Amino acid sequence: MAMEWQRARPFCELPRDGVFNFLRKFLPGGRYYNLDSTQLVMAMKEEYGNIYKVPGMMGRPDTVVTHHPDDFERVLRNEGIWPIRPSSATLRYHRSKLRAEFYEGVEGTIATQGEQWSSFRSVVNPILMQPKNIKMYQKKIAEVNQEFVNRIRLIRNPETLEMPDDFEEYLQRWMLESVAVVALDKQLGLLRDDSENYEDALKLFSALTDFFTLTFDLEYRPSLWRIVATPKFKRLMKALDDIQCITWKHTTEAIVKLEVERQQGINRTEREQSVLEKLLKIDKKIATVMAMDLLMSGVDTTGSLAVGVLLCLAKNPEAQEKLRKEVKRVLPQKDGDFTTDALNNIPYLRACLKETLRVYPLALGNIRMPQNDIVLSGFRVPKGTVVSMISATLLQSERHYPQPKVYLPERWMRHGKEDKQQKSETAVCVGAAKASNPFIYLPFGVGPRACLGRRISDLEIELGIARLVRNFHIEFNHPTEKVFKGMLINMPNVPLKFKFVDIE
């Protein structure tokens, strides 16, 4: 390492712009004006190359941006036992400064670092990362999905069978209902018109959308919020207040319900206790903040993934039909129940989800602060430097994926699990379709800071897509250019006028 460090070019030689010239590009008429997150990183890559330095300004430090997968590996192998992910500064301000009296130092996993992050994660990991604790929700989430299928039949145009322009709202309802089953230990009834929780839900949808859009504006574009409370900053703080207030209301209701059950002598075994109940027994504040984090990270993200899967299946009818045959084996009746081991027998569905995240990645990549001096792409990068690893630009590159423009779920199938009737030439194609580097495709992160809600997301999306494919032939007869807009995550950017045709 010492020899490599000596041979490497100094940090100051990284391609970069001066602060004022860089700022000017974000103004009207400038190169970066009004670009979304994906367009922004593509424009910067074109201008500066595969590695460059974004100048620090307005209280924000310099950031090294790299598009090279070998750099990703070096950074992630130098993250230490307490990886520092220096993002979500606005959320950290809300929890540690603005509403410190509420959080009392218990600030979750999204915006915390070091020992504070580790102590919280060590409490919730054994509960949220164990498959048996999440699988207990299979039946309840399956019921939510059946309600969504019924709702689709009610709201689609009876002649064209297409969804209305506001179908995205129904998708949000579906996802919030699914997450609430785990995070709040209750169904909110959002897929029914008479839900008493609908007003809260609308407020929460608006707050979550503001969280993703405003966080991008404040943290990834030049902003004065660290110096003065800008209008967008105030809107974001209001959105975070709403999320806090609504979550606290429903968590408190769950606590009261559990206390009443305890007084009535109702005692569930460890296996029967919900995630929320287990967390409440440890600490009421931890349970509340964890519920908040699950809602913030699980509604829009899983919703965007669902849209991506539906688009890929609609545009690739052969893959959709192959998936339907697989689902029919574990769900013979359209409105039947999944067996307890159904999700262990749907390898092609999981391959479809993985391929969707390659075609429509949810985020640009990962961000870390290396704990040691490191050499990236031949440049010295001192420890403690913020490094942004952009993988989204590589996922459809011929340099890293054979046939990158082809939707090919088979590339993710393990040997021996492909359809036995698959042609040999396709099998050869599949074997050669893997990524050139394992650090390119990390949609849920990696290491100690990998996504805490992944198992919940997997359960929701697998059960949901299986139910939809079993009930409907899915079409999307509209252009798909710019179907997503890059914010903190990629979010739908067009009316989601899917066509759902009943399967006989």
pLDDT for 318-336, tens place per residue? 999 999 999 999 999 999 9
Residue 258 tokens read as: 């559990």
Whole-number CA gyration radius for the chain: 23
Query: Tell me, what's the pLDDT at 274?
Result: 87
> What digits encode the pLDDT tens for the residues 482-495?
999 999 999 999 99
Using a pLDDT cut of 70, give the percent of the chain over it: 96
Contacting residues for 317 by C-beta, under 8 A, at least 6 apart: none
Q: Are strands 63-66 and 386-390 parallel, antiparallel or unpaired?
A: parallel
Q: Is the Cβ–Cβ distance between 150 and 113 less than 8 Å?
A: no
Contacting residues for 415 by C-beta, under 8 A, at least 6 apart: 431
On the question of pLDDT at 35 being above 70, the answer is yes
Instruction: Using pLDDT thresholds of 50, 70 and 90, give the confidence band for residue 426.
Output: very low
Query: Tell me, what's the pLDDT at 201?
Result: 87
- Domains, the chain, in order of start with CATH, read 2-86+368-376 (no CATH), 114-363+443-502 (1.10.630.10)
On the question of pLDDT at 501 being above 90, the answer is yes
Q: Is 449 in a helix, a strand, or coil?
A: helix
Instruction: Using pLDDT thresholds of 50, 70 and 90, give the confidence band for residue 433.
Output: low
SS in 3 state form for 70-128? HHHHHHHCCCCCCCCCCCCHHHHHHHHHHCHHHHCCCCCCCCCCHHHHHHHHHHHHHHH
Query: Tell me, what's the pLDDT at 418?
Result: 43
On the question of pLDDT at 428 being above 70, the answer is no
Instruction: Using pLDDT thresholds of 50, 70 and 90, give the confidence band for residue 112.
Output: very high
Query: Tell me, what's the pLDDT at 132?
Result: 86
Q: Rounded mean pLDDT of 197-205?
A: 88
Q: Rounded mean pLDDT of 401-409?
A: 94
Side chain identity, residue 219: E
> What digits encode the pLDDT tens for the residues 50-84?
999 999 988 889 999 999 999 999 999 988 889 99
d(CA 190, CA 178): 10
Q: Rounded mean pLDDT of 416-428?
A: 42
Q: How many residues does the chain have?
A: 504
- CB-neighbour burial class of residue 118 (10 A; exposed 0-12, middle 13-18, buried 19+): middle
Query: Tell me, what's the pLDDT at 434?
Result: 67
> What digits encode the pLDDT tens for the residues 251-269?
888 888 888 888 898 888 8
On the question of pLDDT at 419 being above 50, the answer is no
